[in-house]
Amino acid sequence: MQKKLLNWVVLFAVLIALMLIVNVASGGQLQGIMWAVFVAIGAVLILILYLATAENKAWEIGTRQVVYMALGAALYGVFCWVFNTIPMPSVSQVALRPAVVIPIFFGYIFGPVVGFFTGAAGNILGDFLSGWGVYPAWDMGNGLMGLVPGLVLLFADKKRSLNTLTIVTIALLAIFAVLVFVNPRVVGPWTGEIEDFSFWAWAAIIAGGLVILGRFLLERVHPDVATAEVWGALGVIVGIGFASIADIWINGYSLMTAIIGEFMPAAVPNILNMVILLPILLVAYFAVAQRTGR
């Protein structure tokens, strides 16, 4: 257990070092301490979860996991850089990211540690290549997006509690959609203009519907893919939710601005991309694994 805990300490140290290096290379944009506070909050939440389930093999970090981390982070970083040129209507730098399927896939297949590093380090790399600098809370959020699907490995039976997870995920999307319907307009924190985000409520309903459809249509054909769809959607909600809420303190957003103007434009397209692309990636992976006997 002590060795595993030391591995986590080293992992966080590497991520913080990457953030600081990118910060210096980007001209030193990080100000104040709130970014560090939310990195610490994310780290503490992960360590609490780890300590509660430390004996599970899902947390193992060996040579193979390190290789998967490096590969996943590189792939995520490069593909984020490619698609960061396509902005989504939001109050901040939110881009279309089909690449979110990468940390979700790596987390679900190779475990929460691999998924976390893939998402966090990959986001650092992608933002740096895009010339955006470093956003630590969003790096942690992307890490959580990859970590959550990996938590499925904590269960001997991957279908355990899947119905409950499906209900929770859909309920969260429904709540956010209702919030947008009730208050679709928010003031842009940088422009001061009132912006209408009502279309994200309808997009959230479509995303929720596709998650349900994928979950039940694929369950008999390919249970692993159906399970991954639900865990992936939950990962997006948790990860992007963490980053968006952090901006209330980091960027001074109101709660509604953070949820309606930032969370919804980032989370909903991520879920839609994940629902479409994750089954393709998983089916291809399982086919190769079966052919090679791994």
Q: Are 118 and 170 contained in the same domain?
A: no
Q: Give how far the C-alpha of residue 242 lies from the chain's centroid of Cα atoms, to the nearest Å.
A: 9
Domain co-membership, 125 together with 63: yes
Are 238 and 144 in contact, with CB atoms under 8 Å apart? yes
Q: Helix, strand, or coil here: 135?
A: coil
CA distances 159 to 63, 70, 201, 230, 290, Å, are 29, 29, 29, 11, 21
Number of domains in the chain: 2
Q: Single out the residue in 154, 188, 222 at which a domain terminates.
A: 154
Who contacts 29 (Cβ-Cβ below 8 Å, separation ≥6)?
A: 23, 133, 134
Residue 261 domain boundaries: 162-292
- Based on the domain organization, do 137 and 191 belong to the same domain? no
Task: Give the per-residue pLDDT at 230.
Answer: 95
Phi-psi region of 186 (alpha: psi -120 to 50; beta: other; left: phi over 0): beta
Give pLDDT, residue 1.
Answer: 64
pLDDT of residue 265: 95
pLDDT at 105: 97
- Per DSSP, 92 falls in state S
Phi then psi for 82, rounded to 5 degrees? Answer: -65, -45
φ/ψ of residue 186, rounded to 5: -135, 155
Q: What is the pLDDT of residue 276?
A: 94
Over its length of 294 residues, how does the chain's per-residue pLDDT go in tens digits? 666 778 888 899 999 999 999 999 888 778 778 989 999 999 999 999 999 998 888 898 889 999 999 999 999 999 999 998 898 888 888 899 999 999 999 999 999 999 999 999 999 999 999 988 899 999 999 999 999 999 999 887 777 778 889 999 999 999 999 999 999 988 877 677 788 899 999 999 999 999 998 888 888 788 889 999 999 999 999 999 999 999 999 998 999 999 999 999 999 999 999 999 999 999 999 988 878 766
Same domain, 105 and 228: no
Do 209 and 286 lie in one domain? The reply is yes
3-state secondary structure of 162: helix
pLDDT at residue 294, as a whole number? 61
Does residue 82 sit in the same domain as residue 224? no
**pTM score, whole prediction:** 0.94
Q: Report the amino acid identity of residue 59.
A: W
Q: Can you tell me the distance from the alpha carbon of 191 to that of 199, in angstroms, rounded to the nearest whole number?
A: 20
Burial of 222 (0-12, 13-18, 19+ CB in 10 A): middle
Residues 25 and 123 in one domain: yes
Are residues 123 and 138 in contact, defined by beta-carbon separation less than 8 angstroms? Answer: yes
> Within this chain, do residues 138 and 182 fall inside the same structural domain, yes or no?
no
Q: Based on the domain organization, do 102 and 192 belong to the same domain?
A: no
d(CA 243, CA 174): 20
CA dihedral 76, 77, 79, 82 (to 10 degrees): 160
Long-range contacts of 6-11 (CB under 8 A, 24+ apart): 7/61, 7/113, 8/46, 8/47, 8/50, 8/113, 11/61, 11/113, 11/116, 11/117
State which of 154, 179, 210 marks the end of a domain: 154
148 shares a domain with 9: yes
Verify that 82 and 211 share a domain, yes or no: no
